[in-house]
Amino acid sequence: MTAEPDLRLPRLRPEVVLGPALRSGSSVVHHVKDARTGGCYRVGPREYFIMRRMDGDHTLDGIGHEYAEMYGRALGPDSWRQMFALLGRHRLLEGMADDAELDRLARERADRNSRPGTWWHRRWVLLEPDRLCAALADRLSFAFHPVSVAVALAAVAALQVYVWTRAGALFGDATHPSSRPAVIPLTLVLLLLVTLFHEFGHGVALRHFGGSVTEIGIRWRLPVLAAYCRTDDVLLLHRRTARVGTAFAGVLVNLLVLLPVPVWWRLTEEGQLGHSLSASLLLFGSGGALVNLLPFLRLDGSVMLNHALGTADLQGDSHRFWRLRLSRRTPAVRDRLRAYPARDARLYTLYGIVCSLFAVLVYSCLMWVWYGSLQRWVGPLTAVLVLAAETAVLAGVLAYAARGRTSERKTADG
């Protein structure tokens, strides 16, 4: 039987973790996680102010007095009812649920997470690595010391200088005719192994900083199929450096794994399979890691920038901000735009412009390369028509996916 919570001295259950303040759109949010049930929620700064003081030592009157001093208004009966309705709905207070009820909520949460995704966003879980990441974080704690991190950064910087000053020779060895048929599949296998180390890098870093790692798997997000490590708890870390470090750990491990490969390349002779394979691994492994640092397309670089700026979802919020700016300027839209603080409006504007310029640049380069090959086969005019048709199809697919994500979000919110 569920015990009644002590509302005179309310206390959040010990498994409830409150995250730091993050900018989200025109407001501030805090993430809340119930480690027992796996539930994750967002609350505003006022709800966070109240919840942070629900520690069993503050009375309701005391919390109300501090709230009035902070916000200049008292908490009336309706406000308290709404607050306790929120806490009761998710069973966040001690005494609001027994073990059986919490287990039921955990099962319901797990069932929701296991549902298949959509054709533009789906994931397949391969591992639940939390215990392994915890053990590795304990044994590798020395690697997070500032001196160790500085040495690792210097080593990977030296590796990149070595690789890109020899890029021509590496490319020639990687594409050597005598070993080309075997190099491609073997490089893919080794890069998949490097990717696994990359994802464990995220997981071990998050465990070191105090979070949990629920899964490692493969994710399809139109139009990319990629490995991922689920690090939702990073939003609960109060230290900004810990959040950025968790996002960067994958790329750092990625490059550290490549450190012995130049020795392999130097010790093998031209034309040998090992020589071509090591060259391919150095060139494409380094290139992939550096591309991952770009602050676009929800790669690690964009996640690092997101955490460095203290935002909850820089890319998504910037997209929504630009949709408002480009929509019809009704009074409601103008009011929503005016709600954005000046700093956030400048940030979302600049990020949207840079992302758009980058996308246009990359797409133009791809089209130019493709045109150079295509026009030799079918002629200039046909090549232009083919590329125009491809562009129209791609624009239609992206527009359809955007509408699908919007309707999906509305369904979830409703």
**Residue range 111-146, pLDDT digits in tens:** 777 776 676 678 888 889 999 999 999 999 999 999
Q: Residue 172: how many CB atoms within 10 A of its CB?
A: 12
Distance CA 151, CA 183 (A): 32
Spatial neighbors of 315 by CB under 8 A, at least 6 apart, are: 296, 298, 302, 306, 351, 355
Distance CA 243, CA 35 (A): 19
Tokens of 28: 């501030």
Q: Tell me the per-residue pLDDT of 199-242, one tens digit each, with 9 for 90 and over.
A: 999 999 999 999 999 899 988 876 677 889 999 999 999 999 99
Distance CA 362, CA 171 (A): 22
Provide the β-strand partners of residue 32.
18, 41
Which of 10, 46, 54, 5 shows the shortest CA–CA distance to 27?
46
Distance CA 205, CA 218 (A): 20
Distance CA 171, CA 7 (A): 69
Spatial neighbors of 146 by CB under 8 A, at least 6 apart, are: none
β-pairing verdict for 121-127 and 216-221:
antiparallel
Distance CA 379, CA 216 (A): 47
Residue with tokens 């290139």: 287
pLDDT (tens digit, 0 to 9) for every residue of the chain, 414 residues total?
A: 455 565 678 899 999 999 999 999 889 999 999 988 888 999 999 999 999 999 888 899 899 999 999 998 888 889 899 999 989 888 999 888 788 888 888 888 877 777 766 766 788 888 899 999 999 999 999 999 999 999 999 999 999 999 999 999 999 998 888 777 788 899 999 999 999 999 999 999 999 999 999 899 988 876 677 889 999 999 999 999 999 999 999 999 999 999 999 999 999 988 888 899 999 999 999 999 999 999 987 889 999 999 999 999 999 999 899 988 888 778 888 888 888 999 999 999 999 999 989 988 988 888 888 877 787 787 778 877 888 888 888 777 766 665 655 544 443 333
Distance CA 266, CA 279 (A): 10
Distance CA 328, CA 369 (A): 38
Q: How far is CA 273 from the centre of its chain?
A: 37
Give me Rg for the CA atoms of the chain: 26
